[in-house]
Structure 1
Amino acid sequence: MTAELARGQNHPLSQARLEIRVSAGTPIVASATLGDENGKVHGVDWVAHPGAPVLPGLEVSKQAAAGHRLAVDLGAVPEAVHRVSVLLALPIGVGGPVRFGAVAAPFIAVTGLDGTEVASYTITGLDAESAVVALELYRRQGAWKVRAVGQGYAGGLAELLTDQGLPEAGRLAGGINDAVAQGLARSVQAPPQRTADGDRTRQTAAPAPGPDQSGPAPQAGSTPQGAPGPVPPHPTSPYGAPGPQPGYPAGPAPADPSTVTQPATPTAGGPVDYSHPRRQTGAPPSPPPTAPQARPGQPAQPVAGDANGWSMDERLYNQIWGMFEDLARNTAAYRSAVDFAESRMEKELDQALSDPRNRIGGQSDAAREVARGKHAQLVDQARASLDRDLAQLSAEAEVVEPALPPAFARWDNPVWHGYRVPMEIPMALRLGDLYLPESELLRIPMLVRLPLERGLWIDSGQGGLLDESFADSHELRRLALDTAVALAARLLAVYPTGEFGVHVIDPAGSGVQAFAPLVQTGVLATPPAPGAAGVADVLARLTQRVDLVQMAVRGGVPDSLPPGLDTAEQLLIVHDFPHGFDDRAVTQLRYLADEGPAVGVHLMMVADREEAAAYGPLLDPLWRSLLRLTPVPDDHLADPWVGHAWTYEPALVPSGSQVLQQVLARVAEARTRHR
């Protein structure tokens, strides 16, 4: 199964001989560096580039091109090498674009020699950068992994190589650029544009340039969500990315503002390509549904699944990403127009007040009224344009929401009443909703890819929450636990029978009432663990599971696992942290957060960060590695396009509804039959 990575995510590599494929909409230069255990590049002989394309275990292209294939043999790289970084740069002095923000987002895939994709990454969020560390292959405890990096440099290759510790960075970058310019590394034409029937075009908004503007405002880079990470999502993707990976969209990822792969970012006003990036295998995707013919002068009627994809779920997933991106860009256009109107009004007021002739009589008051009238007119025009776009997106949301499968749907969606245990894992899971202040009535689902690449942190603290009505810390903790149980129930419901287990650590037993639906239906792998002894026992068992699976994977002998080992995905819910945790338990918890997701052990913390302040900065990496969610609305997620602060709203079960208990009962019943 291909892992579609968001920025910062990693994925284990089971093969030593690989091919790295790069696709871009313009000729780019592909290079690679070898780094030691600290990531340092020791000299120019540790850099593969068009002028010197071959190093032990590594070969790059000899030319600047829109597509590249880099060959890697991890078994042949020197023992001193612990990191292989893939670098992409725009050639200088050949008349092409000078920043990645002006071209389509590059796509990079790691494949086996047979062409099977192992992992892929679309590098979004770039603007003024002309060079980027796309991804890295790194060695950890004897095993190799791939990580999506996406770190851009406005200073080009020279700045990038300097950051990697290369003393001769400026001279080497100049030599590479000279070779490209002189034709030693010949550029080739970009591939022809895809035909219209293979793409979906959405309306994307860009700020309209005013009299003092030469073009749209530049987009901000990707902001990690809290992450979604909107995300996406991040949204850290809001989604890890997301969304939005909403980690969301990041996200949705972000889409990860948390940890989901984001669609390529088009130039403002251009088409958005929702097709699966460089899919190699399988039958062609079925075309999206055709929207009903609109009347002349009227917008097209929205249709659920109106995006390219290989299944209805994938089309809906891509459509939600598109809605998230549209809302982000439309809102950016509105905010840009308002900022311009305010700056122009201030300029006109300053000019009017600086003229002595306007200080006589009522001329100054008249000048103020004129300036304010122009400001109001511009703001009204911008708001009317935003309202028109919001109406279209709202109409689309009204069509899409009822068509969502359980994994994407809210708890109040009727699809849950017909719930049946699935036969396969869905591509994503809904963690909640995202919205912006300008459009509080329009909710975008926050989706993250499955299996989870990051742990989750349900913040039970009060710091920074928008809803000030929750002055009662006990009520906030209760809502945090309800959020955790609702998310755990979703995960149990969307996995096939026997492929997902949930463990609970509740040292003080204060979560008995909240965990009752999980306990009473019998869907927990083991009863909630009380006290310090229970904490130690659960952490020891899950740590041992991670160690055993890691050793089997690294040794290439997955069949050697003990026969009684549960190889299903596992979720550990930790409540009342750090109560009941000693230093050893904290170390094990950090280990599970870092190493667990890659081998199917996931972490969900229900905690207040301030209560763990006694550990000092020791736990900072733990909190940063988790996707922060809140039990009440909070604007802590950022999208990867323009960096809006999106408000996250948790996916709670409606008050008085029994849908969660009904779904868990069916999960338990399916498990009983499975045994």
Structure 2
Amino acid sequence: MTAELVRGQNHPLSQARLEIRVSAGTPIVAAATLGDEQGKIHGVEWVVHPGAPTLPGLEVSKQAAADHRLAVDLDAMPEAVHRVSVLLALPAADGGGPTRFGAVPTPFVAVTGLDGTEVASYTITGLEAESAVVALELYRRQGAWKVRAIGQGYAGGLAELLTDQGLPQAHQLAGGINEAVAQGIARSIPAPPPRTDGDRSRQASAPARGPEQGGPASQGAPGPVPPQTSPYGTRTPDGPGQPTQPNSPYGSQAGMPGQPGPQQPYQGGADATDPAQPSASASGGAINYSHPRRQHAAPPPPPPTAPPAQPGQPARPVAGDATGWSMDERLYNQVWGMFEDLARTTAAYRSAVDFADSRMEKELDQVLSDPRSRIGGQGDAAREAAQAKHAQLVNQARETLDRDLAQLTAESEVVEPALPPAYARWDNPVWHGYRVPMEIPMALRLGDLHLPESDRLRIPMLVRLPLERGLWIDSGRGASLDGSFTDSHDLRRLAMESAVAHAARLLAVYPAGEFTVHVIDPAGSGGQALVPLVQTGVLAAPPAVGAAGVADVLARLTQRVDLVQMALRGGAPDSLPPGFDTSQQLLIVNDFPHGFDDRAVNQLRYLADEGPAVGVHLMMVADREESSGYGPLLDPLWRALLRLTPVPDDHLADPWVGHAWTYEPSLVPPGSQVLQQVLSQVAAARTHYR
């Protein structure tokens, strides 16, 4: 039976291996401090946080999230540790989120066993101006462990909290934690939209209804539909479930944060400023960007079911077996399910290997510390036994991983050929039958992702539309994974070709007239890469060159952002000037900072910060080192953009466990004419639309 604690109350812990589950409803930072018998923290090495997420017996997530799962193994705690304090904090204010717990849902913390059974729970009430709080405390008393509800908040944030705990380097450590969280947000792949309460309560027996049947209208996000089973757990409409890995030292989902919450950083959602959304009322809201000839179709039939499998064998995968109103939605959810499954099964494998390593090291230390084991062959036998146990654990973990990889590979082999153009690679035959769409898809493919343990398995990297972050195509030498790409000229050419491919895909998946591309190329160095866009006539105007061209384009786009913002703030979104272009806008900037003065740099930052919310998106093709002369002025700009590379690089992180994923750009195969053919159709459709 669960003990529902109040502040100051304690409860005994009968299990050594536990999870501490945190649910906050908004992205928060989770950390923990270790204290000795007097509660003293001996230094920063006794603090586990997103920048240093693991210590013996304790693991926290690497980034801010609405839900966290902290893995705890009390038996693995060093003997000097007698107290573990669980800390929660809101990210730094410059992230644009809430700055006090009084403005967010009440945090809930639960201590559970590995099977998910709650041992004790605590709802942290009474917080107002505080931005950091000591939630729980696990403490050792007379050889037994207990949990105590603390709930001590600090208006001064992590720095004040750590100072109160007696850490001399409190301010430096708090700054380091905030920086680690900011970096995690900047490199995190946007998560799927959050699950609503309706998704949790929807019964499988209740058939989904469409707009024409009295149900909710589909607006680019999956409807509340029942979960789909998977070999790795249960996949829900906003992403899959969680894999069960018996070989993890902490049990399933060791040290893994939970599902993304309602305000996961940079995540898309149906309530974002979306060109597919209905017109706002006179009281304010999003502008009506809908296509005049667009119509909603009735919901499609239920997703296909997999053919029966042989007894004892996993079900054969089927493309589109996830939930959703349309096939695009089902495939989108299925791809995200594969992504999460691979992230979590790999995390369980790595955790199991780490546990095997630490166990063998501990056993070998015990052998060496006992003089009696050095007599005769006892020491050699003990070492061989420890190594045998290590090999057994690692082999078991690898077998489980290989089984899951085989199932995911089989699923990928049936899903990849079934993807629509917005989700497909450029070499997919679906592009040969391309037609300009009448509907905006849910998402866009920007490349592929893979992990070292599964190098052959590629997961499509899908981001929701409309884009909620600008894109930065890194043309610097740091964009090369192994540093072997030393020719800066070729790397810049590849970066610009990658930008053109991304822009062409965006143009191709939007209905005619609903997407406009502008290009700033001050020195004309991107002329060769821009040929497909220029020759087919899909650009709004020829690429702007020189300082005058830079100033003109930036002035027009910043004025556009100002006009739309004023209309929205004034509660009159339909009062824009006659003939105002309501299509989504993309600005491609090449060779930054060449041709940019201080005013232009500030306008660029303004577009990156304010533009996405009103349909103006930024794509930078730049080497960050070349703009270092501006100092920290541009740091917020780079953090606001999603960094992509023209060559494989392992700089992206998933929103669940924070793995470093190798990203591979989506480039047109050499010699292929698919880009020109697609853009020619887009140009013809634009001419007919006008």
Residue equivalent to 1:483: 498
Determine what percentage of the aligned residue pairs are the same residue: 70
Aligned-partner Cα distance in 2 for 1:520–1:639: 38
Q: Which amino acid aligns with 1:522?
A: G
Post-superposition shift, 1:367? 2.9
Aligned to 1:426: 441
**CA shift for structure 1 position 375:** 1.3
1:127 equivalent to 2:96? Answer: no
* Aligned position for 1:161: 128
Task: Report the counterpart of residue 594 of structure 1 in structure 2.
Answer: 609
Matches within 5 A, 1:512-661: 512-661=527-676
**Could you tell me which residue of structure 2 aligns to residue 471 of structure 1?**
486
Q: How many Å separate the matches in 2 of 1:282 and 1:498?
A: 21
What is the alpha-carbon distance in structure 2 between the residues aligned to residue 333 and residue 326 of structure 1? 11
Q: Report the equivalent of 2:337.
A: 322
Question: How far 1:472 sits from its partner (Å)?
Answer: 1.1
Matched to 2:332, the amino acid is Y
- Aligned-residue Cα RMSD (Å) equals 4.2
Kept in 2, the 8 Å contact 1:153–1:160? The answer is: no
Matches within 5 A, 1:427-466: 427-463=442-478, 465-466=480-481
Distance 1:653 1:105, change over 3 A: farther
In structure 2, distance between residues paired with 1:639 and 1:158: 31
* Cα deviation code 1:131-174 (max 9, x no counterpart): 8989x9x999xxxxxxx9899797974695343599xx97999x
Cα offset for 1:473?
Answer: 1.2
Deviation of 1:559 (Å): 3.2
What CA distance in whole angstroms lies between the structure 1 residues aligned with 2:488 and 2:67? 38
- Distance of 1:215 and 1:132 partners within structure 2: 26
* 1:539–1:401 distance in 2 versus 1, CA, 3 Å: same
Task: Output the amino acid matched with 2:533.
Answer: L
CA distance in 2 between counterparts of 1:478 and 1:531 reads 19
Matches within 5 A, 1:191-590: 195=203, 198-202=226-230, 203=232, 204-208=242-246, 215-216=251-252, 218-221=254-257, 240-241=266-267, 286-463=301-478, 465-590=480-605
2:543 maps to a residue whose letter is P
Aligned partners of 1:307 and 1:319 also within 8 Å: yes
Matched-pair contact (CA < 8 Å) for 1:305–1:312: yes
Q: Distance in 2 between matches of 1:190 and 1:452?
A: 26
Cα deviation for residue 378 of structure 1 reads 1.4
Provide the secondary structure at the position in 2 that maps to 1:126: strand
CA 413–617 in structure 1, closer or farther in 2 if over 3 Å, else same? same
Query: How far, CA to CA, are the matches of 1:101 and 1:284 in structure 2?
Result: 41
1:502 touches 1:524 (CA, 8 Å); kept in 2?
Answer: yes
- The amino acid that maps onto 1:439 is S
- Per-residue Cα deviation, 1:334-389 (whole angstroms, up to 9, x for no partner): 11111111111112212222233332444433332332222112111111110010
Counterpart code for 2:229 = T
Q: How many Å separate the matches in 2 of 1:398 and 1:127? A: 32
Shift of 1:464: 6.3
Give the 3 Å change call, closer, same or farther, for CA 385–196 of structure 1 in structure 2. Answer: farther
Q: Residue 35 of structure 1 corresponds to which residue in structure 2?
A: none
Q: In the alignment, is the contact (CA less than 8 A) between 1:456 and 1:603 conserved in 2?
A: yes
The CA distance in 2 between the partners of 1:540 and 1:547, in whole Å, is: 11
Opposite residue 391 of structure 2, the aligned amino acid is A
Checking the alignment, whether the CA contact within 8 Å between 1:407 and 1:428 is kept in structure 2 is: yes
Counterpart secondary structure, 2:642: strand
Aligned to 1:78: none
Counterpart CA distance in 1 for 2:247 and 2:647 is 38
Q: 1: distance between equivalents of 2:418 and 2:549?
A: 43
Distance 1:569 1:321, change over 3 A: same
- What's the secondary structure of 1:463's corresponding residue? helix
- The 1-side partners of 2:482 and 2:105 are apart by 35
Equivalent position SS for 2:380 = helix
Aligned mates of 1:434, 1:318 — CA distance in 2: 16
Amino acid at match of 1:161: E
State the 1:222 CA deviation: 8.4
TM-score by length of 1: 0.66
Three-state SS of the structure 1 residue aligned to 2:128 is helix
Change (3 A) 1:640 1:191: closer
CA distance in 1, matches of 2:482, 2:678: 30
Is the alpha carbon distance of 1:297 and 1:139 closer, same or farther for their aligned partners in structure 2, counting shifts above 3 Å? closer
Tell me, in whole angstroms, the C-alpha distance in 2 between the residues paired with 1:590 and 1:337: 44
Secondary structure of 1:559's partner?
coil
Unaligned runs of at least 5 residues, structure 1: 1-25, 29-88, 109-121, 141-147, 174-188, 224-230, 248-280
Decide whether aligned partners of structure 1 residues 623 and 156 sit closer, same or farther in structure 2, where only a CA change above 3 A counts. Answer: farther
Contact 1:132 1:153 in 2 (8 A): no
> Is the 2:254–2:348 contact (alpha carbons within 8 Å) kept by the matching residues of 1?
no
Query: What is the DSSP-based 3-state SS (H/G/I as helix, E as strand, rest coil) of the residue aligned with 2:305?
Result: coil
The TM-score with structure 2 as length reference comes to 0.65
CA–CA distance in structure 2, aligned partners of residues 105 and 375 of structure 1: 38
Q: CA deviation at 1:537?
A: 0.6
Q: Distance in 2 between matches of 1:165 and 1:471?
A: 45
1:105 offset after TM fit, Å?
A: 8.9
Find the counterpart in structure 1 of residue 215 from structure 2.
Answer: none
Q: 1:673 to 1:616 in 2, by over 3 A?
A: same
Displacement after TM superposition at 1:327 (Å): 0.6
Aligned residues: 501
Equivalent position amino acid for 1:208 in 2: P
In structure 1, distance between residues paired with 2:132 and 2:459:
43
Q: CA deviation at 1:621?
A: 1.0
Q: Could you tell me which amino acid in structure 2 is paired with residue 595 of structure 1? A: E
8 Å Cα contact 2:469/2:612 also seen in 1: yes
- 1:655 to partner: Cα distance: 1.5
Q: Distance in 1 between matches of 2:498 and 2:243?
A: 35
Alpha-carbon distance in 1 for matches of 2:438, 2:26: 31
- Counterpart of 1:186 in structure 2 is none
CA contact (8 A) 1:304 1:396 kept: yes
Distance 2:107 2:588 in 1: 36
CA distance in structure 2 between the partners assigned to 1:611 and 1:159 by the alignment: 49
2:332 counterpart SS class: helix
| Unaligned residue ranges in structure 2 (runs of 5+) | 12-17, 28-63, 71-85, 98-102, 110-121, 134-149, 155-196, 206-225, 233-241, 273-295
